[in-house]
Structures are given as structure tokens and as C-alpha cells.
Amino acid sequence: MKFFIDTANLAQIKEAQALGVLDGVTTNPSLMAKEGITGKDNILKHYVAICNIVDGDVSAEVIATDFDGMVREGEALADLHPQIVVKLPMIADGIKACKYFTDKGIRVNMTLVFSAGQALLAAKAGATYVSPFIGRLDDISTDGLNLITEIRLIYDNYGYETEILAASVRHTMHIIDCAKLGADVMTGPLSAIMGLLKHPLTDIGLAQFLADYKKGN
Ligand code: E4P
């Protein structure tokens, strides 16, 4: 399972990269705004800064909602760095743009996916990644993890190579559950990744080992 971090915060990206388990980064306009990154030029520079920190894929989202605008913005994003994956919204023009980019060999992450039908369309349009937002489904009392199960079944039925990128992961148990269900990738906050480390018996055991070592040395 690939681990992406879902942030535009460079310090957190560096921390996850230093841990040695990071496979990529996802961002979105809200995450950019949260870090105070505004204006087209600053946003583009920020994507390059992220690419220079990590080895893997970096999803960069278009703002346009029409086909021509998405193509224009997506091509500019893809030209920034070979690690960039163009992130497109799951709307009709987004699907058209997905097909356009994948035919040209430019990788796409279809975002804002909330149903199996949308995921099926993304796969047919050749998306590299499909991003079902599990946390936002949970927020409205709908089972986000069930969507991962449905998409896994459909993709396996037909051998679609589009990778299921579980997005809107909010906490550590989401990561474990997505791994059990066969998501190819998860993207979440650093806190959710670090939560995987925690176990009281590890801490107690380590403290005991160190104490016993000290007795004899
Ligand atoms: C995915 O690529 C999105 O950036 C993200 O996972 C959204 O998460 P949120 O629902 O916590 O905002």
C-alpha cells in the first residue's frame, strides 16, 4: 500500500519523507490556502518545492471547470515537474480532460469521487488514480469504507489498472481499514500516519529493556 501525505505543509512533508515511508503527496486548493500559498505563481512554485522534497507522485489540482481551461492548466502543471499528477474534478469535462491527458501520457488523479459509478468512469477514462473521499462520506453518515470495497470489486472484475487512492483519510484506523480492503494508496494527515506507530506495550517493553540493560552496565 502506498502512503501519500495530504498537505501542502513543507515541514510535515519533510517529516514524513524523513520517516522513509512516504510515496507521494496530494494537495488541493483548500490545503494550499491553509498554508497561505496564494496567487498562481506562488502555487506553481510551491508544487515544485514539494516535488523537490519527495521522490514520488505529487497531485496538483486544476481550478478550471471547463475542458479547455482544464487542459490549459493541466498541461502547465504537468510541465512543472515529472512527478506531477494532474488532479481533475469528477465532472463531465473532468472525464473528457482525463481521457485527453491519459492519451497524451500525462497521469491523472480524479478527485471528489463519492460513488462507484464515478470511479467506473474514471477507470474507463484511463485515470492513474481515483480518489474516493471516505472521510467526507462518513461526515454525512454514509459508510466511506464501503465505497472502497465497491470500487475494489468493480476494478478487480475487469482488471482496471487505475489505482484506488483512499482520500479524505482522517485517522489511523481509516488507514488500517483501507489496507484491509485493498486500497492501493491512502492519503492522509501526518498525525494519522504517526498514529500507526503507537502501542503502549512497545513503550512499556522498551522502557523495561533499557532499565534491565542499565542494571548490568
Ligand atoms: C484528497 O486528495 C483531498 O485532498 C483530501 O483527502 C480531502 O480530505 P478532507 O475531506 O479531510 O478535506
* 16-33: b (≥16 Cβ within 10 Å) or e: bbeeeebbbbbbbeebbe
* 94, 70 contact by CB (below 8 A): yes
Residuewise pLDDT in 10s, the chain (217 residues): 999 999 999 999 999 999 999 999 999 999 999 999 999 999 999 999 999 999 999 999 999 999 999 999 999 999 999 999 999 999 999 999 999 999 999 999 999 999 999 999 999 999 999 999 999 999 999 999 999 999 999 999 999 999 999 999 999 999 999 999 999 999 999 999 999 999 999 999 999 999 999 999 9
2 is known as an active-site residue? no
From 112, 133, 171, 186, mutation site for ligand 1 pocket: most ligand atoms within 8 A of C-beta = 133
Nearest CA to ligand 1 atom 10: 168
**CA proximity to 85, closest of 74, 96, 95, 93:** 74
- Amino acid at the residue 80: L
- Number of Cβ within 10 Å of residue 65's Cβ equals 12
Helices (DSSP H) in 8-91: which residue ranges? 10-19, 29-34, 40-53, 67-80
Q: Which of 14, 40, 45, 87 is catalytic?
A: 87
Nearest CA to ligand 1 atom 8: 168
